Amino acid sequence: MNTVTNNTDFLLAIENLTVSFDGFKAVNDLNLYVDENEIHVIIGPNGAGKTTVLDLICGRTKATDGSIKFRNRELTEMREHEIVREGVGRKFQNPSIYEDLTVFENLEISFPRGRSVFGALAFKRDAEVIDRVHEIAAMVFLKELLDTQAAFLSHGQKQWLEIGMLLIQDPELLMLDEPVAGMSVSERKQTAKLLNEITKGRSVMVVEHDMKFVEDIAHRVTVLHQGKILSEGSMAKVQADPKVIDVYLGH
């Protein structure tokens, strides 16, 4: 499929990646590359292994075989928080925020400073932190809600908050699992705009079902099916691929 190289110019290079759950290969000998400043969308039917790929990259699931190189550094041997510190941020499929804390506190906790126990004890809410929280909150449409307890946000706002919590870490690779699931049409539009904005200077991997949304944002699309790549390329190319139409889009 792709030529296998050892040191790549890609931001992220996944090669021969396999994970097997009790013999069932949820991801099967996968090769996938993400360029700098690229919005790379992964689509595919339910159970295709999309979430599992993100889990493998961020260290939540350990690979059975293969390699994941981020800036030519092997991620499969690192622990989750180390991968985050390398510059990989991951949003979960269900909004995963701290409901008992305010929007401000949610963002503040995600600010990449004072991540050790004693660092956290000594952490000061200084001007840098406050400015950054305000800046990110404005980006994710939550400026007016900084003081609101996160439990009281709408579903869409929770999704945005989680995206904001990742943005404040300024990751080089941002992975979003179904970011617009459960959002209203206008919220989807806002989110598409947001993604186009935040991709400046970073790469984004998005798992998504909503084809309209994918068309709006994708630079490149990978179609996953039974843990393998079915098709890859521009949205137009993928949509025209008979294999894809057969297993996925045709439904």
Partner 1 sequence: MTNVKSFMARQDILALLILAAVLFVVMPMSMDIFRLNLFGKYLTYAFVAIGLVLCWGKGGILSLGQGVFFGLGGYCMAMYLKLESSTPEATAIQSTPGIPDFMDWNQITELPWFWEPFNSLTFTLVAILVVPALFAFVIGAAMFKRRVGGVYFAIITQAIAAILTILIIGQQGYTGGVNGITDLRTLKGWDIRTDEAKYILYYVNGALLIGVLVLCQFVLQSKLGRLLVALRDKEDRVRFSGYDVANFKIFVFCFAAVLSAIGGAMFTLQVGFMSPSFVGIVPSIEMVIFCAVGGRLSIFGAVYGTLLVNWAKTTFSETFPELWLFGLGALFIAVVLVFPNGLSGLYRSYLAPHVDRWIFRKPPAGGFTGAGPLDTPAFEPEPAARPAE
Ligand X SMILES: Nc1ncnc2c1ncn2[C@@H]1O[C@H](COP(=O)(O)OP(=O)(O)O)[C@@H](O)[C@H]1O
| Contact mark string toward partner 1, 138..167, x via CB under 8 A | ------x-xxxx-xx---------x--x--
Residue recorded with tokens 């404040």:
168
Q: Does 61 bind partner 1 (CB under 8 A)?
A: no
Q: Does 251 bind ligand X (CB under 6 A)?
A: no
Residue recorded with tokens 């406050």:
130
Q: Which of residues 63-122 bind ligand X (CB under 6 A)?
A: none
| Contact mark string toward partner 1, 97..136, x via CB under 8 A | xxxxxx-xx--xxx-x-xxxx--xxxx-x----x------
Residue 177, classed as helix, strand or coil, is strand
Instruction: With contacts defined by CB under 5 A, name the span among 48-56, 119-127, 152-160, 185-193 that binds Mg ion.
Output: 48-56
CB 27, CB 49: distance < 8 Å: yes
Instruction: With contacts defined by CB under 5 A, name the span among 43-51, 103-111, 196-204, 215-223 that binds Mg ion.
Output: 43-51
Partner in contact with 144, chosen from ligand X, partner 1, Mg ion, none, beta carbon below 5 to 8 Å by kind:
partner 1
CB 218, CB 39: distance < 8 Å: yes
To the nearest 10 degrees (0 to 180), the angle between helices 155-167 and 127-139 is: 130
Q: Does 52 bind Mg ion (CB under 5 A)?
A: no
The alpha-helical segments, DSSP class H, found in the chain are 50-58, 80-86, 103-110, 117-122, 127-139, 155-167, 185-198, 211-217, 235-240, 242-244
The residue among 24 and 118 lying less far from ligand X, judged by its C-beta, is 24
Number of residues that bind ligand X (CB under 6 A): 10
Give backbone dihedrals phi and psi of 112, rounded to 5 degrees, phi first.
Answer: -80, 65
The residue among 165 and 221 lying less far from partner 1, judged by its C-beta, is 165
CB 98, CB 106: distance < 8 Å: yes
Site for ligand X (CB under 6 A): which residue of 13, 49, 111, 129?
49
Site for partner 1 (CB under 8 A): which residue of 3, 23, 46, 79?
79
